[in-house]
Amino acid sequence: MSTRLTPARRRLALEKLGRERLNELTNRYALEVGDKRVVENHVNALVRVCSTDFGDVLGKLKRKELQSICKALRLDQSGREKQVLIERILGGTEIQEEVVPAPKKETKTNGNGKKGGALEQVALALPAASKLTVDQLERYLWSAADILRGSIDSSDYKNYIFGLLFLKRISDVFEEEAEKLLSKGEPPEIAWEDRDYHQFFVPKKARWPEIQKVASNIGEALNKASSALEDENAGLDGILAGIDFNDERKLGDGKSRDTVLSKLVQHFAKLNLRNAHLAEPDMLGRAYEYLIEKFADDAGKKGGEFYTPKKVVELIVELLQPNEGMRVSDPTCGSGGMLIECANYVKRHGGNPQNLTLHGQEKNLGTWAICKMNLLLHGLSDHRVEKGDTIRDPKLVQDGGLILYDRVIANPPFSLDEWGYETAEADAYGRFRFGVPPKTKGDLAFVQHMVATLNKQGQLGVVMPHGVLFRGGAEAAIRERLLKEDLIEAVIGLPSNLFYGTGIPAAVLVLSRSKPSGRRDRVLFINAAQDFEEGKSQNCLRDADVKKIAAAFHAQTDVERYVRVVPVEEIERNEFNLNISRYVDATAAAEVVDVAKAIRKLRHLESERAAVEVKMNAFLKELGYA
């Protein structure tokens, strides 16, 4: 179990334990402590040793000790189960100060044209005039997990929190639009009931004030609200269908469901998610990405199935440099992070992200819904994301053929077993003309699908396990054909342990239908395996690492032990093996020792030691020991 506790907070937790307990723990982990009578020595040893799993440490404690730690960390101390307290400590979310909404002095017209019925929202202990910041929203949304912690499995948190966030946002924006129409003199029946005046029409049962009124069977009411919202808006079809707020298996019996869901509804009621109340336009999308990353961290491998580390995404987008007007696809789009970063890139470079065509396909229906919500919360409503298996049943088709793209970007599942081998030879779209990959290794099936969807000027970037660079058999034959058609532009080796659920190193492959003349019949190799910041559970790329790798790719200039442009003829002599170490010497340069300087330093140290020895002997003589 990973911990989000900082070393400072771990120290604060450990300091609540007595010396006897700390001594027991340091002995259990065979830690060097020094003077065992000093509590701080035990605390320092336990905080310092990275191999110590803090969750395991907490598991050795008694319930009262865990409650004491919760109190020190300003966490909820309730609950008799030790595991609930441990998860609460590892979650590390402080209790937020509750703010009671001030009574609303003004009345306003509701959906029936009558006064009253809409609640003013107060957001996260903010003064009424303040706008909600990204940091405040992120902390508040993450604290919603504490309501679910101990009640359901952490891998299911995202469904309920994402679903309620989406319902609240849609409802708040709808109310905001309706009130603007009223202020312009439109009658209530237009403002509240005319679908043509709203981006998304929210029927009465799906409006937050109505949801907030429900006291029993809350799960059923939320399911009906979700269905009504989808029925009224074709663009939302299926987004909330995979979330069952009335699921007895996950949320318990009726009483338990009502208790948990009531707390969640009231928790979200305190957030004002209207556009006018947000400190910046895209903050909902940014907070959403934060939650996706947090849940990936919380759920471990399960999270990795739908989340690619943000800096890896930024790197590939910096390599591909999408422009306004381009058509972009992610055939294994997960939660949509790569598509969104393409839009962000265009915006950062002065373009209009609304003029970027974004397409994707995702097999996991729950993740597909998250992707749709993510895109909508980023204001990217004009997109096409299909449900289904990209290899067995590609859905991004038009007029009987695959849609072609300017840029294709993806992080497919590594070395997927049962990827669709049985359908490949008879593929209706001719995607596997370079060869059929092995039955138990689907990596190059995804690469070939991506190549088949590139237009004549198209370029793709894809994350792959290192095995595709050197494995033999059918994969070697596919590599040979890709190289002979001069499609492979770059092979970039990434650090190990970047991805959730796997510690193996990965590589980014860049393939292009139309290489610039200076890059033809050549492959660029970059060894970026040492460019990272080390973390306890995952390593990560830094901004400087992303910039360095992208600059090296665009410069196409050799850099000793880092970058090399290699002719395809040389790769052919190596039997089309693309292992980076064959082309970029990754061994550390031998250190040149200045012998004369080293001897001078040694003599100086010897002289200092002699002087200290003389002084020490004098002290000993004074004390009568010599």
pLDDT band at 297 (very low <50, low <70, confident <90, very high): low
Cβ distance 122 to 102 under 8 Å? yes
335, two tokens: 């939660």
Strand partners, 491: 509, 525
Sequence-distant (≥ 6) Cβ neighbours of residue 481 within 8 angstroms:
434, 435
Q: Is the dihedral of CA 48, 51, 55, 58 positive or negative?
A: negative
Tens digit of each residue's pLDDT (9 = 90 or more) over 428-452: 999 999 999 999 999 999 999 999 9
Backbone region of residue 399 per phi and psi (left: phi > 0; alpha: psi in -120 to 50; beta: other values): left
Q: What pLDDT score was predicted for residue 301?
A: 44
CA atoms within 13 A of residue 50's CA, in its CB half-sphere: 5
Sign of CA dihedral 168, 171, 173, 175: negative
Q: Which residue has the higher pLDDT, 524 or 118?
A: 524
DSSP string covering 541-609? --HHHHHHHHHHHHH---BTTTEEEEEHHHHHHTTT---GGGTS--SPPPPPP-HHHHHHHHHHHHHHH
- Angle subtended at Cα 519 by Cα 518 and Cα 520, rounded to the nearest 5 degrees: 100
CA angle 481, 482, 486 (to 5 degrees): 110
Of the two residues 291 and 363, the one the predictor is more confident about is 363
Tokens at residue 523, please?
């492959």
Q: Give 477-513 pLDDT, tens digit per residue.
A: 999 999 999 999 999 999 998 886 677 889 999 999 9
pLDDT of residue 339: 96
Q: Do the beta carbons of residue 378 and residue 334 sit within 8 Å?
A: no
CA 190 to the chain's CA centroid: 41
- For residue 264, how far is the Cα from the chain centroid? 23
pLDDT exceeds cutoff 50 at 2: no
496/89 Cα distance (integer angstroms):
29
Of the two residues 613 and 1, the one the predictor is more confident about is: 613
Could you tell me the pTM of the whole model? 0.69
Mean pLDDT of the chain: 85
Confidence (pLDDT) at 48: 63
Average pLDDT over every residue of 176-184: 94
Q: What is the mean pLDDT of residues 599-626?
A: 87
Give 332's DSSP letter: T
Name the strands in the sheet holding 563-567, side by side, starting at the edge strand that comes first in the sequence. 383-387, 357-362, 327-330, 405-410, 454-465, 506-512, 488-493, 522-527, 563-567
**15-27 residue pLDDT tens:** 888 888 888 888 8
Q: What separation in angstroms does the CA of 25 have from each of 33, 60, 83?
A: 11, 8, 19
- Give the Å distances, CA to CA, from 357 to 195, 234, 256, 397: 26, 19, 44, 14
User: pLDDT tens, 93-108?
Assistant: 544 433 333 333 333 3
121 has pLDDT over 60: no
pLDDT at 593: 77
Name residue 349's amino acid: H
pLDDT at 219: 94
Amino acid identity of residue 557, one-letter, is T
Distance CA 622, CA 626 (A): 8
| pLDDT per position as a tens digit, 248-282 | 888 888 898 999 999 999 999 988 988 888 887 66
Nearest residue to 78 via CA among 341, 270, 263:
263
Tell me how far apart the alpha carbons of residues 252 and 260 are, in angstroms, rounded to a whole number.
Answer: 10
Three-class DSSP category at 101: coil
Contacts of 569 (CB under 8 A, 6+ apart): 521
What percent of the chain lies above the pLDDT cut of 90?
51
Question: What is the identity of the amino acid at 194?
Answer: D
Give the rounded distance of the alpha carbon of 191 from its chain centre. 38
Q: pLDDT at residue 306 above 60?
A: no
Which two tokens mark 536? 């306890």
Q: Concatenated DSSP letters for 233-293?
A: -GGGTTTTTT--TT-HHHH-SHHHHHHHHHHHHHHHHT----GGGBSSTTHHHHHHHHHHH
pLDDT at 510: 98
Q: Whose structure tokens read 């679910």?
A: 148
| Rg of the chain taking only CA atoms, in angstroms | 29
Residue 115 pLDDT exceeds 50: no
